[in-house]
Amino acid sequence: MPSKEQHQELLQKYAEAIVKVGLNLRKGQRLIITNATARGVPPAGRALVHAVTKAAYAAGARYVETILGDEEMHRIRLQNAPADSFDEYPKHTVNAVMDMIKNGDALLSIYANDPDAFAGLDPERVAAMQKSHLQNYSPIGVEVSRNAVNWCVVASACPAWAAKVFPDLEAEEAEKKLWQAVFETTRVTQPDPVAAWMEHIENLVKRAKYMQGKKYSALHYKAPGTDFTLGLPQGHRWIAARMPAENGVDFTANMPTEEIFTLPDRHRADGTVAATFPLSYGGSLIEDFSVTFENGRIVKVNAKKNEAILQKLIETDEGSRRLGEVALVPASSPIAQRGHLFYNTLFDENASCHIAIGRAYRFTLTGGEELNDEEFISAGGNVSLNHVDFMIGSPQMDMDGIKEDGTCEPVMRQGEWAFEA
Mean of pLDDT over the chain: 95
Q: CA-to-CA distance for 184 and 204, rounded, in angstroms?
A: 18
Q: What are the CA-CA distances from residue 305 to residues 130, 254, 357, 394 (Å)?
A: 19, 28, 19, 21
How much is the pLDDT for 72?
92
- Note the pLDDT tens digit of each residue in 382-417: 999 999 999 999 999 999 999 999 999 999 999 999
Under CATH, what is the fold of the domain 4-185? Thermophilic metalloprotease-like (3.40.1830)
How much is the pLDDT for 31?
98
Mean per-residue pLDDT for 329-348?
A: 91
Q: Which of 212-221, 256-265, 330-339, 372-381 has the lowest mean pLDDT?
A: 330-339
Q: Which of 30-44, 94-108, 128-142, 371-385 has the lowest mean pLDDT?
A: 30-44
How much is the pLDDT for 187?
96
Beta bridge partners, 355, equal 326, 390
How much is the pLDDT for 421?
78
How much is the pLDDT for 242?
92
Q: CA-to-CA distance for 2 and 20, rounded, in angstroms?
A: 24
- Note the pLDDT tens digit of each residue in 187-208: 999 999 999 999 999 999 999 9
- Note the pLDDT tens digit of each residue in 278-315: 998 877 889 999 999 999 999 999 999 999 999 999 99
Whether residue 39 has pLDDT greater than 90:
no
Whether residue 84 has pLDDT greater than 90:
yes
DSSP 8-class letter at 307: H
Alpha-carbon 105 to chain mean position: 21
Phi, psi values for residue 331, rounded to 5°: -65, -15
pTM for this entry: 0.89
Domain ranges of the chain: 4-185, 194-242+256-417
Q: Is the dihedral of CA 114, 117, 119, 124 positive or negative?
A: negative
> Any idea how long the chain is?
421
DSSP 8-class letter at 174: H
- For 320, residues 6+ apart whose C-beta sits below 8 A from its C-beta are 313, 314, 357, 358, 384, 385, 386
pLDDT tier for residue 145 given thresholds of 50, 70 and 90: confident
What distance separates the 2 farthest-apart alpha carbons in the chain?
A: 60
- Note the pLDDT tens digit of each residue in 164-180: 999 999 999 999 999 99
Mean per-residue pLDDT for 329-344?
A: 92
Whether residue 38 has pLDDT greater than 70:
no
Nearest to 166 by CA among 115, 109, 110: 115
